[in-house]
Amino acid sequence: MNNFQFYSPTEFVFGKDTENQAGLYVKKHGGTNVLIHYGGGSAVKSGLLDRIKKSLEKENISYTELGGVKPNPRDTLVYEGIKLCREKNIDFILAVGGGSVIDSSKAIAMGVPYEGDFWDFYCGKKPEKALPVATVLTIAAAGSEGSGDSVITKENGNLKRGAGSDLIRPRFSIMNPQLTCTLPPYQTACGATDIMAHVFERYFTNTTEVEITDRLCEAVLLTMIKETPRVIANPENYDARANIMWAGTVAHTNIVGVGREQDWNSHGIEHELSALYDCAHGAGLAVIMPAWMEFVYKHNVLRFAQAAVRVWGCQMNFENPENTAREGIKCFRRFLHEIGMPLTFAELGAREEDIPALVEKFGIGDGKTGGFVKLSAKDIENIYKIAVSPELI
Ligand code: NZQ
Ligand code: ZN
């Protein structure tokens, strides 16, 4: 196991009706003048936004609202948010929504005290200050409620890029699984795929002797395999929703990834798809991650065979473990198909002729990237090609 530092300062407030405590927690964490940031309307329609406002009013906390965050959040609204926060002297940002709303809030939080262009933080610069951010989560997916990451798309050029800093880790995250019951099945499945992908990015590692994190990863994956079909069959299943919601956070606070090298190429390769086609991140991952697996499994057949046996319940073929590894990848694709995810470029609405542009935008030139297997631009092109017509379906 490698040396590591684990920092996860977020206070998680989990369970039924917890959104009514938003005001109390903002006060506890020092907020007096809040920007409520939200998305395209689901939080308005469900009455959640009204409950949040009421809860803030009860604690005499003033607020300003900024809605309109789109999935794959854009830089243009971030600039608007920064300007608004400065004009109104905002001292706390409350994100009410999913990963997109939270990431937009984190970008605004870094941008307000910064004199330059906030986009600098998405080109590698580290922030020195940020406004405090907290969340009321409405979808189990990105794990942004517990992460120090934010992903924003620059409209000019469709560039989707990430920033990371402990300064943008949420101060608190309110997580009421009931709020996720209004999610359409497709969006639920996209979230489930993202959660599983966050675990697989960590599971496939070159670090040895990491039994604890291997087993934690497997626990999250097994939970997702059990609970996702249950919520798709019955969207109101509170306990299944609750297990998935906590799995989403556990998958991405890095508790399942500490002490081990991680990969993250599937995410980078997917981000180019959601930037270009504006597809859901989870749907893009359903197409890309198994294609990545198909491309890299020979790097460590036994690790893939281990996943097949422990996660998908395959029989180990001791004479030919490669068959077991391949069976595991097939099981992953079968599962994704069963929950309604696309598996190919065509199903996602992506075009084979765009592959050169996707690789170009990925932007690694002659270099290599990734943890488990270092990939060149040519390798990435080949992974996109596998996603056009996968072999292991
Ligand atoms: O905008 P509204 O109307 O709220 O609708 C949203 C949106 O259309 C809807 N939704 C959310 N909660 C709902 C609901 N509809 C009904 N009932 C509810 N309770 O769902 C749609 C998707 O929301 P979004 O926030 O985009 O989903 P998600 O949480 O999957 O976030 C995706 C974004 O997070 C980034 C992705 O790249 C993508 O941009 N990621 C962020 C990460 C991070 N910050 O750590 C890591 C991830 O790997 C990921 O890259
Ligand atoms: Zn993700």
**Ligand 1 centroid – CA 248 distance (Å):** 12
**Nearest bound ligand to CA 151?**
1
Nearest ligand to the CA atom of 182: 1
Rg of the chain taking only CA atoms, in angstroms: 21
User: Mean pLDDT per segment of 10 residues, for the chain of length 393 residues?
Assistant: 97 98 98 98 96 98 98 98 98 98 98 98 98 98 97 94 97 98 97 98 98 98 98 97 98 97 98 96 98 98 98 98 98 98 98 97 94 98 97 88
Tokens 């009860």 belong to which residue? 58
Reported as a single tens digit per residue, the pLDDT across 337-388 is 999 999 999 999 999 999 999 999 999 999 999 999 999 999 999 999 999 9
pTM: 0.98
H/E element, 93: strand 92-97
Spatial distance between the Cα atoms of 16 and 6, rounded to a whole number of angstroms: 29
In angstroms, the CA 358 to CA 361 distance is: 5
Q: Examine domains 11-179 and 185-388 and report if their fold is the same.
A: no
| 112 contact partners, CB below 8 Å, separation of at least 6 | 82, 85, 86, 90, 130, 131
Give the closest ligand to the alpha carbon of residue 67. 1
Q: Sign of the C-alpha dihedral, residues 138, 140, 141, 143?
A: positive
Single-letter residue type at 272: E
Tell me how far apart the alpha carbons of residues 356 and 136 are, in angstroms, rounded to a whole number: 39
C-alpha span between 197 and 194 (Å, rounded): 5
* Substitution candidate for ligand 1 out of 138, 152, 269, 341 with most atoms within 8 A of CB: 138
Ligand 1 contacts (CB < 6 A) are 39-43, 71-72, 97-101, 103, 138-139, 141-144, 147, 149-151, 179-180, 182-183, 187, 191, 194, 252, 267, 281-282
User: Whose CA is closest to atom 46 on ligand 1?
Assistant: 142
Pocket test for ligand 1, best of 110, 151, 158, 263 (most atoms within 8 A of CB): 151
Percent of the chain with pLDDT strictly greater than 90: 99
Domain edges within the chain: 11-179, 185-388
Joined together, the tokens standing for residue 385 give 């090609």
How many angstroms does the Cα of residue 209 sit away from the middle of ligand 1?
Answer: 35
Q: For domain 11-179, which architecture applies? A: 3-Layer(aba) Sandwich (3.40)
Q: Which residues contact 60 (CB under 8 A, 6 or more apart)?
A: none
158 Rama sector, left if φ>0, alpha if ψ -120 to 50, beta otherwise? left
* Beta-ladder partners of 135: 95, 173
Instruction: Give the CATH H-level superfamily of domain 185-388.
Output: Dehydroquinate synthase-like - alpha domain (1.20.1090.10)
In the reported structure, the alpha carbon of residue 137 is separated from the centroid of ligand 1 by a whole-number distance in angstroms of 10
Alpha carbon distance 386, 13 (integer Å): 42
